[in-house]
Amino acid sequence: MSLALWHWHIEVSSKCTLRCPRCARTEVPDSLINTELDLEFFYKNFTSDFIKNHVEKITFCGDDGDPIYAHDFIPIIKYLKLKKDISIVIVTNGSYKKLDWWYELASLLTENDHVHFSLDGYDQASNEQYRINSDWDSIMLGINTLRSKSKAYMTWDAIGFKFNENHIDHMKDMAKNLGFDQFQLTLSTKFGSKYEHYGQNDIFEPDNKSLISSTHRFERQITNLSGRFLREKYKDTNLALFEKVQTIGDIKPICHIGNKGLFINSKGDFYPCCWVANRYGHNKHWNELGKKYNLHDNLLSDVVNDVFWKEKFVENSFECGLKCKSSVVDKNYATEW
């Protein structure tokens, strides 16, 4: 069993206008490089044949940045859509784009596409308690434009914090009134009760401990708002692959399933997932491998066929052992989005 090539997670830009306190941009700024992938990168690596034979879904979401700030983001989506009506997922804070930009994006998206707006508040004052420097008016402009001009599936994605824990039902009602298809409540791990360096008096940690992830992965609670459901066929794909995946030691590698998507960061480094790509200092082995498989220097088709990915590459990996323990990765997780 080798890497699942059908789903790709691409950080098309490491640039962002926000200063979220527990984003890697803020926590480990010294190693941050503001860069992006351009249209030529996609011409080179995501060729017509590669897309036709493999790609079904691309998730644009950054470890460091927000995809909407990539200079070539619209031309990249246009190029991909010309080759095949793949499913495009966009995860964004939604701030500072103008009406004509949202109009152009809406014209490219279909009912197969999915836009996540990351909103932790219910107005400017509440949202910027964590999403520092966000702009509520331009976010609402984007939401309303996409809802009126496209058939894309839309999700309001909120992280549970102390400042919003008593307003979650209100946020769900807002999401429904704005025409969102679902509300996703994300249970974070980045609180003082999980990691000592955030402190015992963590200002962000909710009092309701059910809003904190029970594992070392973010957990998600989904509420459908519209009666629309998306990509059931891809869930079937995940489940079919899950049944075939071989356990390696105590690890069930979901990079062989397609759950998170094979990861390419904004520098063009290739990783089996975004978890092993982080800049927090304990992934030096993986960071060196990412550079080795950089897609400015290598072709994507060559990288994914390297024998390394067919061997026991997850052994002795801190992140693989933490995130993909076979005792934790089950059928339900395999079909999550």
Encode pLDDT of 302-319 as tens digits. 999 998 887 767 876 778
CB-CB contact of 196 with 189 (8 Å):
no
CB environment 166-195: b (16+ within 10 A), e (fewer) = ebbeebbebbbeeebbbbbbbbbbbbeebe
pLDDT tens-digit readout, 198-216: 999 999 999 999 999 998 8
What distance in Å separates the CA atoms of residue 19 and residue 94, rounded to the nearest whole number? 14
The residues, any chain, with a CB within 8 Å of residue 195's CB and separated by 6 or more, are 189
CB-CB contact of 33 with 81 (8 Å):
no
**Could you tell me the pLDDT band of residue 247, with boundaries at 50, 70 and 90?**
confident
What CATH number did the domain enclosing 101 receive? 3.20.20.70
Range of the domain at 133: 1-337
State the SS3 of 254-278: HHHCCCCCEEECCCCCEECCCHHHC
Residue 337 has pLDDT above 60, yes or no: no
Q: How many domains does the chain have?
A: 1
- Residue 23: predicted pLDDT: 95
**Could you tell me the pLDDT band of residue 325, with boundaries at 50, 70 and 90?**
confident
What distance in Å separates the CA atoms of residue 14 and residue 67, rounded to the nearest whole number? 8
CB atoms within 10 A of CB 276: 22
CB-CB contact of 150 with 140 (8 Å):
no
* Rounded average pLDDT over 284-305: 92
Higher pLDDT, 315 or 218: 218
* pTM, entire model: 0.94
* Helix, strand, coil distribution of the chain in percent, nearest 5: 35, 15, 50
* Rounded average pLDDT over 109-121: 96
The fraction of the chain above a pLDDT of 90, given in percent, is 72
Query: Tokens for 64?
Result: 């460091």
Residue 142 has pLDDT above 90, yes or no: yes
CA atoms within 13 Å, Cβ hemisphere of 322: 13
- Residue 331: predicted pLDDT: 59
What distance in Å separates the CA atoms of residue 163 and residue 144, rounded to the nearest whole number? 25
* Rounded average pLDDT over 175-181: 98
CB-CB contact of 114 with 87 (8 Å):
yes
State the SS3 of 89-130: EEEECCCCCCHHHHHHHHHHCCCCCEEEEECCCCCHHHHCCC
* Rounded average pLDDT over 17-35: 94
27 SS3 class: helix
pLDDT tens-digit readout, 58-101: 999 999 999 999 999 999 999 999 999 899 999 999 999 999 99
Residue 172 has pLDDT above 60, yes or no: yes
- Residue 280: predicted pLDDT: 87
CB atoms within 10 A of CB 209: 11
Count helices and strands in the chain by DSSP H and E runs = 13, 9
**Among 288, 312, 240, CA closest to 6:** 240
Residue 243 has pLDDT above 60, yes or no: yes
- Residue 54: predicted pLDDT: 92
What distance in Å separates the CA atoms of residue 72 and residue 289, rounded to the nearest whole number? 27
Residue 283 has pLDDT above 60, yes or no: yes
- Residue 229: predicted pLDDT: 84
CB-CB contact of 95 with 65 (8 Å):
no
What distance in Å separates the CA atoms of residue 271 and residue 313, rounded to the nearest whole number? 11
